[in-house]
A = this chain, B = another copy of it.
Amino acid sequence: MGVSTEDPTEDHTEDHTEGRMTAFDEAIAVKPSGGRRYQVRFDERFAIVAQGGAVPAAMNGGVMLAMVLRAVLDESPLPYPVATSAHFLRVPRLEPAEVEVTWLKQGRTAATARAALVQDGQAVLDTTVTTGNLPDGPPGDDERNGELTWTGEPPKLPPIEECVNLGPWPGTVGADGTAGYAAHVDLRMDPSTTGWRRADPGGVPEMRGYFGLREERDPDAYLLALAVDSLPPVVFGLGAAGWAPTVELTWYMRAVPVAGPLQVAARCRHVGGGWFDEEAEVWDAAGRLVAQSRQLARVGRSSRRRPEQQPG
């Protein structure tokens, strides 16, 4: 959880990468500037690129969450972000910003901090993070310790080799070829959830796939923060298109993931009044539920229009 006092672009992560720092770790670097403030900068490599335009439309929300978590975990008495709730307030510019951390409680089982990502004196993202301990031993440890354990059915994904390598998907590539976020992640989608790519959405708001970075990097709390909102919006399965801005996202870390690709399964329960919810689960390569999220988002402007019906 250590954070250096050096330049935020320098390597100061734990040893995920055996010395080499990934673009992701560079993008979520924070630099303490005193008084529980941390300098950050938004990295265009993880920006969301608007279809048909070279100018990044927004930062990937997961990268902003991971950035905030780096600052919170820097001073947390407990090691894992068990519950993070985040309200997305404004679209940041790709310029410097600050994370401001305020501790509300530091208990034995749980510690809670507020952390705001601030640019030009305005909050871009407001979060509250509760940290705690989590199972980090082999699956089954809990049960052997006599603790109550129970897990629901895991998602059913086809083998990874039968999945669709999404690449920078339609809608994420700018007119000049810039791809941002979508070019840095490795998404292998369950083909039954990718009909929208051929303008033939399945009619069900679900997305499932294997998630990792294109660079080699083991999953941890930061990568889970990215994973919970890594798939294309579930409403693409209903024929919606375009950027679907997240308004609120809460995610729980449930166990420490093992190395290997993550499985992410997302569903929706209701779309109406311009809002939709998206619930995602992340399972690790050992078959453990390691993270859960739910978000409330706005349906993109081009809702009810299938890609082939879009003007231009």
Which listed residue, B87, B128, B151, B271, touches A272 by the CB 8 Å rule? B151
**Are A112 and B126 also in contact (CB < 8 A) when A238-B148, A255-B273 are?**
yes
Complex: A272 Cα to B86 Cα, angstroms: 24
**Are A128 and B87 also in contact (CB < 8 A) when A269-B151, A269-B152 are?**
yes
Which listed residue, B110, B147, B247, touches A83 by the CB 8 Å rule? B247
A120-179: which residues lie under 8 A (CB-CB) from chain B?
123, 126, 128, 130, 132-135, 142, 146-152
Interface residue A50 (Cβ < 8 Å from any Cβ of B): no
Which one of A2-10, A58-66, A213-221, A296-304 is at the interface? A296-304
Neighbouring B residues of A239 by C-beta, 8 Å: 148
Which listed residue, B109, B128, B254, B272, touches A126 by the CB 8 Å rule? B128
CB-CB nearest in chain B for A203: B150
From DSSP, what is the main secondary structure of chain A's interface residues? strand
Closest Cβ of chain B: how far from A250's Cβ, in Å? 4
Which listed residue, B112, B277, B292, B303, touches A277 by the CB 8 Å rule? B292
Most-contacted residue by chain B among A146, A147, A281, A296 (CB, 10 A) = A296
**Are A83 and B296 also in contact (CB < 8 A) when A105-B123, A112-B89 are?**
yes
Neighbouring B residues of A296 by C-beta, 8 Å: 82-83, 130, 252
Neighbouring B residues of A185 by C-beta, 8 Å: none
Neighbouring B residues of A294 by C-beta, 8 Å: 250, 252, 279, 292, 294
Contact A148 B104 (CB under 8 A): no
CB-CB nearest in chain B for A111: B89
Interface residue A90 (Cβ < 8 Å from any Cβ of B): yes
Neighbouring B residues of A123 by C-beta, 8 Å: 104-105
Interface residue A270 (Cβ < 8 Å from any Cβ of B): yes
Contact A152 B250 (CB under 8 A): no
* CB-CB nearest 3 A-B residue pairs: A85-B85, A83-B248, A250-B250
